[in-house]
Amino acid sequence: MRVGSLLILSFLALLAVDGCKVGPNYKVPAMPAPPAFSDNGHNGDWTVASPADQADRGAWWTIYRDAELNTLEQQCTTANQQISAALHAYEQAHDIVREAHASLYPTVSIGGSATRNQLSSNEPLRPTTQPLNYWDFLIPVNISWEPDFWGGIRRQIESSAASAQASAADLATMRLSLQGMLAISFFQLRGLDLQAQLLRSTLDAYTEALKLTQARQTGGLASDSDVEEARAQLEQTRAQLIDLGVQRSQYEHAIAVLIGRPATDFHIPERPLAGDPPSVPTGIPSELLQRRPDIASAERHIASANALIGVAKSAYYPSVVFGAGGGLNSDSISQVFSPKSTDWFAGPSVSETIFDAGRRKAQVDYAIAQREQAASLYRQQVLSAFRDVEDQLAALRVLDDEATVTARSVAAAKKSTELSTLRYKRGLAQYLEVLTNQTIELNDERAAATLVARRIVASTQLQLALGGGWNSTQLPSN
């Protein structure tokens, strides 16, 4: 009988571990992807990888080959408080998985008590041989185990594990977003440095123009109005240069917060932005489903919700609990550990809900609706990701064309300013003509400088739209 009992218990344990799991098994929702991005073939330089593109894309910002940016990005990764908070959120999700996994195993408790008891001498049916006062020393041990016959606990573990993976993807999304904000702020700050360099060189040219006008006034060849117009233009340009300081300080302060430092004593030395944005290989649209952590998070939420359907359906099946208990009980402390002080019990209990007025059906329907909601959000996230990539590819294409046209405009404006200045020196033109051409030239040059920053920012935003260097294989395993 003892061998038979052990065999039965072994069979039940095996059934609890490897038994059926109610509820649907998870399948990743199908999401059709276009064969290629529409703007991908417009400019071959965007898809042909340069040596920098072959580097580890985990540190995607290294493609810009800026040592200062590399240092700031590393500081952001290790010191940013939002990333730290997201990391702790993932740790909480991981702990929930451990908690759910513990439900597969028995619960064992042990205690101890010592009580002094007083019986009433007038108690009905009191045995006359029992003393009125006695001690009760008790050391109980209790074991309780609910085998997972129907897979409800394992489905809960599946749901918690998928939620933990979603939390890990959220951490990657937060890290990527903040790294992108840092890179964009850094390039915009460098773009302001480029404009500041332009304005300083323009101030030198305008100062020479003012001296020329003053000299011509002394010689009776220019009016007081010409001199004041030249001075007004000079001071207006100086005011524009000063105004850049406000924006630059704001970008510096934003970068300080991103790297976890007080903005008070943080400063980035001035260095103008230069060069064209590097090529960014986009790959094919279907790869985006593995390269965007926000898409991975949305997909893992579907898996979590799908497992909860099984949890809800397991409530339709009987609840089986194996319990056992025992301990040592004596009225004398000297006899507590005597074999005669041992008592115990063991046996299963089964319960089944016969009527609940549709409560379990409502819980199953609720879980199904949650899964469908998560699937819709996943599909929307995928569509948004395709749009993000297309937006930045279009931006790069348009800005590239705009930069070419603006460069021609700057060259023409410079030539026009040179000719009008020459005509003014020879007395063939009014100073208003020089002033007008100088204003046009400065506006065109500032537009060209702005385009340098906009193009490299669009390149950075394309990197973010493509998921940076992340891949879904980096998710923790179940």
Two tokens, residue 132: 């009125």
Angle at 39 (CA atoms; ends 36, 40), nearest 5 degrees:
55
Residue 104: predicted pLDDT: 93
Q: What is the pLDDT of residue 420?
A: 93
What is the pTM for the complete model shown?
0.84
Q: How far apart are CA 150 and CA 19, in angstroms?
A: 7
What are the backbone dihedrals phi and psi of residue 201, each rounded to the nearest 5 degrees, phi first?
Answer: -65, -35
Q: How many residues does the chain have?
A: 478
User: DSSP letter at 131?
Assistant: -
Q: Which CATH class is domain 21-103+150-317+358-474?
A: mainly alpha
How wide is the angle at C-alpha 392 spanned by C-alphas 391 and 398, nearest 5°?
90
Domain 107-145+319-351: give its CATH code. 2.20.200.10
CB of 170 within 8 A of CB of 297? yes
CA distance readout (Å), 6 to 61, 104, 108: 62, 19, 20
- Phi–psi pair at 110, nearest 5 degrees: -140, 150
Which residues, in sequence order, are CB contacts of 367 under 8 Å at separation 6+?
305, 308, 309, 311, 312
Strand partners, 113: 138
Q: Which two tokens stand for residue 247?
A: 């924006």
Q: What confidence score (pLDDT) does residue 53 get?
A: 37
Secondary element (H or E) of residue 344: strand 342-351
Name the DSSP letter for residue 338.
Answer: S
Angle at the Cα of 401 from the Cα atoms of 180 and 286, rounded to 5 degrees: 50
Q: Are 216 and 265 in contact (CB under 8 A)?
A: no
CB atoms within 10 A of CB 75: 16
272: tokens are 């103008």
Q: Distance between CA atoms of 333 and 468, rounded to whole angstroms?
A: 70
pLDDT at 294: 95
DSSP 376-402: HHHHHHHHHHHHHHHHHHHHHHHHHHH
H/E run at residue 366: helix 359-425
Helix axes 152-218, 81-102, angle to 10 degrees: 170
- Where do the domains of the chain lie? 21-103+150-317+358-474, 107-145+319-351
DSSP SS3 for 140: strand
Digits of tens for pLDDT over the chain (478 positions)? 455 555 455 555 555 555 678 999 999 888 888 888 886 544 444 333 333 334 445 799 999 999 999 999 999 999 999 999 999 999 999 999 999 999 999 999 999 999 998 878 777 776 666 677 888 899 999 999 999 999 999 999 999 999 999 999 999 999 999 999 999 999 999 999 999 999 999 999 999 999 999 998 888 888 899 999 999 999 999 999 999 999 999 999 999 999 999 999 899 999 999 888 988 878 888 888 888 999 999 999 999 999 999 999 999 999 999 999 988 888 888 888 888 888 888 999 999 999 999 999 999 999 999 999 999 999 999 999 999 999 999 999 999 999 999 999 999 999 999 999 999 888 888 888 999 999 999 999 999 999 999 999 999 999 999 998 888 888 888 6
Q: Are β-strands 342-351 and 319-330 bridged in parallel, bridged antiparallel, or unpaired? A: antiparallel
pLDDT for the residue 12: 53
| Contact of 159 with 311, CB cutoff 8 Å | yes
Tokens of 309: 């359907």
Q: Could you give the CA distance from residue 282 to residue 40 in angstroms, rounded to a whole number?
A: 8
Residue-by-residue DSSP string for 189-221: HHHHHHHHHHHHHHHHHHHHHHHHHHHHHHTTS
Bridge partners, residue 350, by sequence: 320
Whole-angstrom distance, CA of residue 245 vs CA of residue 38: 40
